[in-house]
Chain A
Amino acid sequence: MANNDYDAIVVGSGISGGWAAKELAEKGLKVLMLERGRNIEHIKDYTNAFHEAWDYPHRGLPTQQMKADNPKLAREYTLNEMTNGMWANDKDHPYTEVKRFDWFRGYHMGGRSLLWGRQSYRWNAEDFTANLKDGVAVDWPIRYADLAPWYDYVEKFAGIAGTQEGLDVLPDGQFLPPVPLNMVEKDVAKRIEKVYKGMRHLIHSRTANITQAMPEQNRVGCQYRNKCWLGCPFGGYFSTQSSTLPAAMKTGNLTVRPYSIVTQVLYDKNSKRATGVEVLDSETNLTYVFNSKIIFLNASTLNSSWIMMNSATDVWDNGLGSSSGELGHNVMDHHLAVGAHGSIEGYEDKYYSGRRPCGFYIPRFRNWGNDKRDYVRGFGYQGSASRSNWQQNVAELGIGADFKNALAEPGSWNIGMGGFGEILPDHKNKVTLDKSVKDKWGLPVLSMDAELQANELRMRKDMKQDAMDMLEAAGVKNVQGWDGDSPIGKGIHEMGTARMGRDAKTSVLNKHNQIWDAPNVFVTDGACMTSASCVNPSLTYMAITARAASFAVEELKKRNL
């Protein structure tokens, strides 16, 4: 019989799980990493990475059958032929919605680290004090200074391309050379800088794509194919597979077990400690118990809370971590699908080559410095400029050789940008267990009950209007704003439901990500977030995870856990 005892168990193999496994294994702990889905081996299993549009049976488009089988995935780009089989399907993995909620999950080794958008920004100092200042939810138990050295640490290892800008609103970090802007973006940046007198900035995206080789990780670097979501054979972007997993495996301390759905954390009420986890093998339906001294929950925001809700229910009706009444509450995301676009003249003699994995970024400027709005917090924009192609003229009149030749040449330059806005933590926005619906394995599912509130809706007006104003100020023509549906989850930046805090009565986790009611259980994925900022969250999960792992090992050494 195999030894089922480990020093540490890491639940989940995505961005934060990979970091937890690496940090703990490198510090000498015997680590078991559990992944609910199948294994995906770096490079070998990126089977579509060299396929082109014409290789796919429907050129990459989703079929009506795929839509019928996956009505929720079909709401977004998540349903297509290129990544077919990667986003968790609706049939095996149901959830229920009191209000529309998009939940896009990666149930396989590496999780969404293979499918993520890779935009990587530090939180700023005010992000950590905003709740206190605004009287919203609870205060973060940590400050920017607590995380700054860990941002340095994870950026150096993950490889983040970007530029030093000296902005308080978007702290600088350890960057590789940036992914270039094109001519139009550079000129628009200059105009915005001038019109807004240095109060607004268009800068290079900061992205977890490496612009220089990282031979120590066997990573060649970004090849400008813009096929990141197919897995990169060049190790061009940070993923568990390209980066943290090989480092963790190298220690000889890591065991990985795919097909392992963690159904609960096992809790001993006498010692007030977790003793391990129960695993349902998704292939065999057999149940196993694995024991460990510490547990890191990195199952993804809502699934980490789902595990807690199903744990220690003999002690707490609503599960481990529910004693504050906040478990499952304060679900957040970034609201988006709002912005503006237009066309720009005078660059007909300019073009570009290569396909970037990103574009430009405009950091938050609202409610910053002396700016005051009728809402709190703010938003940033992501965007890009490019020349239109054959898609430009479909609705226009034309057929024949001249029409074909016209379509074979690039058209006008267009520029567009979409906002990413902060969503406030709100107790009303919650997820709960729905025991009336079961997944493929007979496990209860999550029910989602969350929506944008007044603060976000007021912010969206600015997100649209400011985008239009800035483009117009930069000389862009035919500017059109848009504002679409933004249900929570659409941003695929789920956060909250097990927030960190200073008081066990009002939060689920303490300042070191320990569950107040089980200090040897650490939750370091998006579930831990006390507020949401407006910047993409994954880099912060990495930093928080590395920090918590370091603390956990110190505490183990001191025999405090």
Chain B
Amino acid sequence: MMDRRDLLKMIMATTGVAMVGGDAFGYEMKGQVPLSKTIFSSDDVILFNEVAEVILPRTSTPGAKDANVGLMALILANDCYTSKERDVLVQGLQSLNEQSQKDYGSPYLLLNTQQQTEFVTQLDVDAKTYNNKQDIYYLSVTPYDRNSNDDKPLPHYFTLIKQLTLFSFFTSKEGATKVLRYEATPGKYNGELEYKKGDRAWAT
């Protein structure tokens, strides 16, 4: 049995002329990445989500956990990060629990909400201090512009967590459509839209 592709090849070979619309395919879309294809475990996702939820909590609108930010963040860290960046993150997640153990006598996930907020607030301060010491003032929101041969100093691991959280959240359907505003087909451009404080920003 000859499949369609082989048949088309044969027709092309004998006639020299292919048919438009043959075995064409257009833009490629890769499949979603399962967590099992990464170095991270579901425990890592849970931990990341709980930290991310403190950064972007559920309010009247969805929060980080609603968007399962942890899964996206760790897939990005696995596939888009350089190995150096990934190492900083992996060691960071580990040290986060060690620090929590030291400060509160228990791992991060067992802290109550108020303790988690205190802890992450302190991390945010530590990260800023650390970054300033290294003259890291500008931080990309995505891992997009970092080259693997880039030997610039890396920011504090919490900064990586925050970057991944914000990017994963605001590019998620929940973040983009329920926290920000998104219109798939605007149909026109209005360059003089009135704005009042509190109106949501566009997702893109």
Give the size category of A's interface with B: 35 or more
Q: What residues of A have a CB within 8 angstroms of the CB of B170 in the complex?
A: 389-390, 407
Give the distance in Å from the alpha carbon of A409 to the alpha carbon of B14 in the complex. 62
Q: What residues of A have a CB within 8 angstroms of the CB of B166 in the complex?
A: 390-391, 394, 407
Give the distance in Å from the alpha carbon of A370 to the alpha carbon of B154 in the complex. 50
Interface residues in A373-407 by Cβ distance below 8 A to B read 387, 389-391, 394-395, 397-401, 403-405, 407
Q: What residues of A have a CB within 8 angstroms of the CB of B184 in the complex?
A: 50, 52, 225
Q: Decide if B99 is an interface residue (CB 8 Å cutoff).
A: no
Structural contact, B20 and A256, CB atoms closer than 8 A: yes
CB proximity of A433 to chain B, nearest CB, Å: 27
Q: Decide if A368 is an interface residue (CB 8 Å cutoff).
A: no
Structural contact, A352 and B190, CB atoms closer than 8 A: yes
Q: Per-residue 0/1 for B56-84: is the Cβ within 8 Å of any A Cβ (1 yes, 0 no)?
A: 11010101000000001001100111100
Give the distance in Å from the alpha carbon of A83 to the alpha carbon of B27 in the complex. 6
Find the residue from B61, B80, B131 having the highest chain A CB count within 10 A: B80
Q: Decide if B176 is an interface residue (CB 8 Å cutoff).
A: yes
Q: Decide if A251 is an interface residue (CB 8 Å cutoff).
A: no
CB proximity of A277 to chain B, nearest CB, Å: 12
Give the distance in Å from the alpha carbon of A45 to the alpha carbon of B23 in the complex. 11
Segment among B41-49, B89-97, B104-112, B140-148 that sits at the interface with chain A: B140-148
In this complex, what residue of B is CB-closest to A288?
B16
Q: What residues of B have a CB within 8 angstroms of the CB of A60 in the complex?
A: 171
B173 partner, pick from A45, A54, A185, A260, beta carbons under 8 A: A54
Q: Decide if B153 is an interface residue (CB 8 Å cutoff).
A: no
Find the residue from B162, B163, B196, B201 having the highest chain A CB count within 10 A: B201
Q: Decide if A145 is an interface residue (CB 8 Å cutoff).
A: no
Structural contact, A2 and B15, CB atoms closer than 8 A: yes
Main SS at interface, chain A: loop
Find the residue from B28, B61, B163 having the highest chain A CB count within 10 A: B28
Give the distance in Å from the alpha carbon of A86 to the alpha carbon of B29 in the complex. 11
Structural contact, A51 and B29, CB atoms closer than 8 A: yes
Q: Decide if A93 is an interface residue (CB 8 Å cutoff).
A: no
Give the distance in Å from the alpha carbon of A430 to the alpha carbon of B13 in the complex. 37
Q: What residues of A have a CB within 8 angstroms of the CB of B28 in the complex?
A: 84-85
Give the size category of B's interface with A: 35 or more
Main SS at interface, chain B: loop
CB proximity of A183 to chain B, nearest CB, Å: 5
In this complex, what residue of A is CB-closest to B179?
A408
Structural contact, B16 and A2, CB atoms closer than 8 A: yes
Give the distance in Å from the alpha carbon of A51 to the alpha carbon of B173 in the complex. 11
CB proximity of B119 to chain A, nearest CB, Å: 11
Give the distance in Å from the alpha carbon of A93 to the alpha carbon of B31 in the complex. 25
Q: Per-residue 0/1 for A43-58: is the Cβ within 8 Å of any B Cβ (1 yes, 0 no)?
A: 0111110111111111
Segment among A33-41, A262-270, A504-512, A548-556 that sits at the interface with chain B: A33-41
Whether A281 touches B25, Cβ cut-off 8 Å, given contacts A53-B176, A223-B186, A256-B20, is no
Q: Decide if B125 is an interface residue (CB 8 Å cutoff).
A: yes
Give the distance in Å from the alpha carbon of A61 to the alpha carbon of B192 in the complex. 32
Q: What residues of B have a CB within 8 angstroms of the CB of A403 in the complex?
A: 55-56
Structural contact, A351 and B143, CB atoms closer than 8 A: no
CB proximity of A53 to chain B, nearest CB, Å: 4
Q: Decide if A350 is an interface residue (CB 8 Å cutoff).
A: yes
Interface residues in B119-147 by Cβ distance below 8 A to A read 120-121, 124-125, 128, 131, 137-144
Structural contact, B75 and A400, CB atoms closer than 8 A: no
Structural contact, A389 and B201, CB atoms closer than 8 A: yes
Segment among A63-71, A317-325, A331-339, A439-447 that sits at the interface with chain B: A63-71
Structural contact, A59 and B12, CB atoms closer than 8 A: no
Structural contact, A224 and B162, CB atoms closer than 8 A: no
CB proximity of A67 to chain B, nearest CB, Å: 7
Give the distance in Å from the alpha carbon of A179 to the alpha carbon of B186 in the complex. 14
Give the distance in Å from the alpha carbon of A399 to the alpha carbon of B52 in the complex. 9
Structural contact, A230 and B199, CB atoms closer than 8 A: no
Give the distance in Å from the alpha carbon of A391 to the alpha carbon of B142 in the complex. 9
Give the distance in Å from the alpha carbon of A37 to the alpha carbon of B8 in the complex. 15
Q: Per-residue 0/1 for A229-269: is the Cβ within 8 Å of any B Cβ (1 yes, 0 no)?
A: 01100000000000000000000000111111000000000
Q: What residues of B have a CB within 8 angstroms of the CB of A83 in the complex?
A: 27
B26 partner, pick from A40, A53, A59, beta carbons under 8 A: A40
B79 partner, pick from A4, A64, A281, A411, beta carbons under 8 A: A64
A394 partner, pick from B162, B195, B201, B204, beta carbons under 8 A: B162
Q: What residues of A have a CB within 8 angstroms of the CB of B82 in the complex?
A: 64
CB proximity of B186 to chain A, nearest CB, Å: 4
Give the distance in Å from the alpha carbon of A354 to the alpha carbon of B141 in the complex. 23
Q: What residues of A have a CB within 8 angstroms of the CB of B148 in the complex?
A: 64, 67-68
Using a CB–CB cutoff of 8 Å, the interface residues on chain A facing chain B are 1-2, 4, 38-41, 44-48, 50-65, 67-68, 81-86, 109, 179-183, 185-186, 223-226, 230-231, 255-260, 281, 283-284, 286, 288, 290, 348-356, 387, 389-391, 394-395, 397-401, 403-405, 407-411
Which 5 pairs show the lowest CB-CB distances between chains A and B? A45-B26, A182-B191, A85-B28, A354-B189, A354-B186
Offer 7 A-B interface pairs, CB within 8 angstroms, sorted by A. Answer: A59-B168, A59-B171, A225-B185, A256-B20, A399-B117, A404-B59, A407-B166
6 additional A-B pairs beyond A389-B204, A405-B59, beta carbons within 8 Å, are: A41-B21, A230-B27, A389-B203, A407-B201, A410-B201, A411-B201
